């Protein structure tokens, strides 16, 4: 299939209509969607390991972490959710979990996790995801001449499958055992390793997609540096993450389903995501929000359970258009390209010292000059499952 014409992406009305079509609040309805996808049955998977003395997950299961964007020590605590402490970085405004699960526990969880896989496989979820994936593919396609895709954290493989149907040559990277077995049976190229361990050649892909990946990885900077390395010079990365500055999250705070701690480690907003991307010399082509969660907003404003009720609009003027114009949607969607690999800029930012913040195992890439991205020898989880 050839690339879509540019028209709909530059027509705000058409573009909003495309977004609204995969917004469950506006189509299926919040209560029905949560019931039919099985979301209402999800439970925090590590609650049994909470130490009653601290309210936190047992100390031997955790490891400390500084801000994964700027390296600053944990800022003021915001709240504890499901045994995990959430803090905010005063430097870059990132909300993140400062004591995360040990890496072996996290990888084991991703390999074996089933509850979320069942949500992804549910019919209502798959139908909306298909529209969302078409939206992302169309955004990228019109700017790319070739069609080599790496889908990081491919989950059940629906995006790789959709891209293949549309003429892309797709490679899926995923850790979950059931998902990778199913993908391999269907003949897809599957990499069952974190991205940093996949040993992919430089410039291999025209598009690297990270649908709901960066919120899960302990070191998103490393994942993005590796993404940049495997991208062709004129390639693109497509990134979707939860938006901590969304209206629904600003209203619900720790009651928001986006916070859990075992899996969502980083909560980006437009500012912190931009800082992260620019620290790795990505140029932002598109940055917008999708998915209003307007149903949950209305429920909350009517003193109802935000996830299981149904309520009429509270502010009639609060429309999807208003929400997205203000970047208040519940997901941030970014389309980015590798920027030039050039010399020093004026007014060096803190991120210019990124390499100094990386572990000792980081090695400068050979023959790329002083601005080469570091390649990390140490394994890190990159092949992530989707979770929202
Ligand atoms: Zn920071």
Question: What is the per-residue pLDDT across 211-235, written as a single tens digit (0 to 9) for each?
Answer: 999 999 999 999 999 999 999 999 9
If you measure from the C-alpha of residue 176 to the centroid of ligand 1, how many angstroms do you get, rounded to a whole number?
30
pLDDT at 36: 85
Q: For a pLDDT cut of 70, what percent of the chain falls above it?
A: 86
If you measure from the C-alpha of residue 142 to the centroid of ligand 1, how many angstroms do you get, rounded to a whole number?
34
Q: Is 160 helix (H, G, I), strand (E, B) or coil?
A: helix
If you measure from the C-alpha of residue 158 to the centroid of ligand 1, how many angstroms do you get, rounded to a whole number?
33
Report the alpha-carbon distance of residue 330 to residue 323 in Å, rounded. Answer: 9
Q: What is the dihedral of CA 282, 169, 220, 100, to 10 degrees?
A: 170
pLDDT at 340: 80
If you measure from the C-alpha of residue 85 to the centroid of ligand 1, how many angstroms do you get, rounded to a whole number?
16
Span 86-114, average pLDDT: 92
If you measure from the C-alpha of residue 318 to the centroid of ligand 1, how many angstroms do you get, rounded to a whole number?
32
If you measure from the C-alpha of residue 215 to the centroid of ligand 1, how many angstroms do you get, rounded to a whole number?
14
Start-to-end CA span in the chain (Å): 30
pLDDT at 369: 33
Span 232-240, average pLDDT: 97
Residue bearing the bigger pLDDT, 273 or 44: 273
If you measure from the C-alpha of residue 71 to the centroid of ligand 1, how many angstroms do you get, rounded to a whole number?
6
Summarised one tens digit per residue, pLDDT across range 126-162 is 999 999 999 999 999 999 999 999 999 999 899 999 9
Summarised one tens digit per residue, pLDDT across range 153-190 is 999 899 999 999 999 999 999 999 888 998 899 899 99
CA-closest candidate to residue 141, choices 9, 290, 321 = 9
Span 297-314, average pLDDT: 88
pLDDT above 60 (res 306): yes
pLDDT band at 199 (very low <50, low <70, confident <90, very high): very high
pLDDT at 374: 32
Give me the residue label for tokens 């899996």: 263
Span 323-333, average pLDDT: 98
Residue bearing the bigger pLDDT, 57 or 3: 57
pLDDT at 186: 87
pLDDT at 342: 56
- Give the 3-state DSSP-derived string for 317-371, with helices as H, strands as E and coil as C: CCCHHHHHHCCCCCEEEEEEEECCCCCCCCCCCHHHHHHHHCCCCEEECCCCCCC
If you measure from the C-alpha of residue 235 to the centroid of ligand 1, how many angstroms do you get, rounded to a whole number?
28
Tell me how crowded residue 66 is: count the other CB atoms within 10 A of its CB: 14
Span 15-37, average pLDDT: 89
If you measure from the C-alpha of residue 95 to the centroid of ligand 1, how many angstroms do you get, rounded to a whole number?
9
pLDDT band at 277 (very low <50, low <70, confident <90, very high): very high
pLDDT at 309: 75
If you measure from the C-alpha of residue 279 to the centroid of ligand 1, how many angstroms do you get, rounded to a whole number?
12
Residue bearing the bigger pLDDT, 11 or 241: 241
If you measure from the C-alpha of residue 275 to the centroid of ligand 1, how many angstroms do you get, rounded to a whole number?
9
If you measure from the C-alpha of residue 90 to the centroid of ligand 1, how many angstroms do you get, rounded to a whole number?
7
pLDDT above 50 (res 45): yes
If you measure from the C-alpha of residue 88 to the centroid of ligand 1, how many angstroms do you get, rounded to a whole number?
8
Span 24-34, average pLDDT: 85
Report the alpha-carbon distance of residue 74 to residue 355 in Å, rounded. Answer: 20
If you measure from the C-alpha of residue 92 to the centroid of ligand 1, how many angstroms do you get, rounded to a whole number?
4
Instruction: Describe the chain by its helix, strand, coil percentages, rounded to 5.
Output: 35, 20, 45
Span 108-113, average pLDDT: 84
pLDDT above 90 (res 250): yes
If you measure from the C-alpha of residue 70 to the centroid of ligand 1, how many angstroms do you get, rounded to a whole number?
4
pLDDT above 90 (res 325): yes
Report the alpha-carbon distance of residue 249 to residue 297 in Å, rounded. Answer: 9
- Domains detected in the chain: 7-341+349-376 (3.40.50.150)
| Angstrom distances, CA of residue 318 to CA of 16, 25, 33, 307, 333 | 14, 13, 21, 19, 21
If you measure from the C-alpha of residue 359 to the centroid of ligand 1, how many angstroms do you get, rounded to a whole number?
17
pLDDT at 43: 81
If you measure from the C-alpha of residue 162 to the centroid of ligand 1, how many angstroms do you get, rounded to a whole number?
36
- As a whole number, the mean pLDDT across the chain is 86
> Which stretch, 43-57, 261-275, 360-374, has highest mean pLDDT?
261-275
If you measure from the C-alpha of residue 372 to the centroid of ligand 1, how many angstroms do you get, rounded to a whole number?
22
| Angstrom distances, CA of residue 370 to CA of 137, 140, 161, 342, 364 | 34, 30, 39, 9, 8
């Amino acid at each position: 299939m050839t690339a879509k014409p540019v028209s709909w992406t530059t027509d705000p009305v058409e573009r909003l209509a495309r977004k609204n079509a995969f917004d469950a609040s506006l189509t299926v309805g919040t209560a029905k969607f949560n019931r039919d996808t099985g979301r209402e049955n999800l439970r925090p998977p590590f609650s049994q390991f909470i130490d009653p003395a601290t309210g936190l997950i047992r100390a031997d299961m955790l490891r400390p972490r500084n801000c994964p964007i700027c390296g600053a020590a944990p800022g003021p605590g915001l709240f504890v959710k499901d045994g995990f402490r959430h803090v905010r970085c005063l430097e870059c405004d990132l909300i993140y979990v400062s004591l995360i699960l040990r890496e072996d526990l996290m990888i084991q969880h991703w390999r074996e996790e089933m509850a979320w896989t069942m949500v992804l496989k549910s019919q209502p979820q798959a139908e909306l995801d298909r529209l969302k994936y078409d939206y992302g593919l169309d955004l990228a396609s019109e700017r790319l001449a070739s069609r080599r895709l790496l889908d990081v954290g491919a989950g059940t493989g629906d995006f790789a499958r959709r891209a293949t149907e549309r003429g892309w040559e797709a490679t899926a990277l995923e850790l979950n055992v059931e998902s990778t077995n199913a993908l391999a049976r269907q003949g897809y190229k599957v990499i069952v390793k974190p991205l940093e361990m996949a040993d992919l050649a430089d410039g291999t892909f025209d598009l690297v997609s990270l649908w709901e990946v960066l919120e899960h990885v302990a070191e998103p900077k490393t994942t993005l540096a590796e993404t940049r390395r495997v991208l062709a010079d004129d390639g693109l990365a497509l990134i979707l993450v939860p938006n901590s500055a969304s209206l629904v999250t600003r209203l619900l705070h720790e009651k928001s389903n986006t916070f859990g701690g075992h899996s969502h480690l980083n909560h980006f907003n437009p500012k912190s995501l931009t800082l992260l991307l620019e620290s790795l010399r990505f140029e932002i082509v598109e940055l917008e929000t999708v998915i209003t969660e307007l149903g949950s907003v209305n429920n909350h404003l009517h003193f109802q359970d935000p996830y299981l009720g149904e309520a009429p609009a509270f502010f009639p003027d609060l429309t999807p258009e208003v929400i997205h114009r203000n970047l208040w949607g519940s997901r941030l969607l970014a389309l980015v390209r590798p920027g030039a690999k050039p010399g020093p800029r004026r007014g060096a930012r803190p991120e210019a010292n990124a390499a100094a913040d990386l572990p000792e195992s980081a090695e400068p890439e050979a023959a790329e000059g002083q601005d080469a991205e570091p390649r990390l020898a140490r394994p890190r989880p990159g092949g992530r499952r989707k979770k929202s």
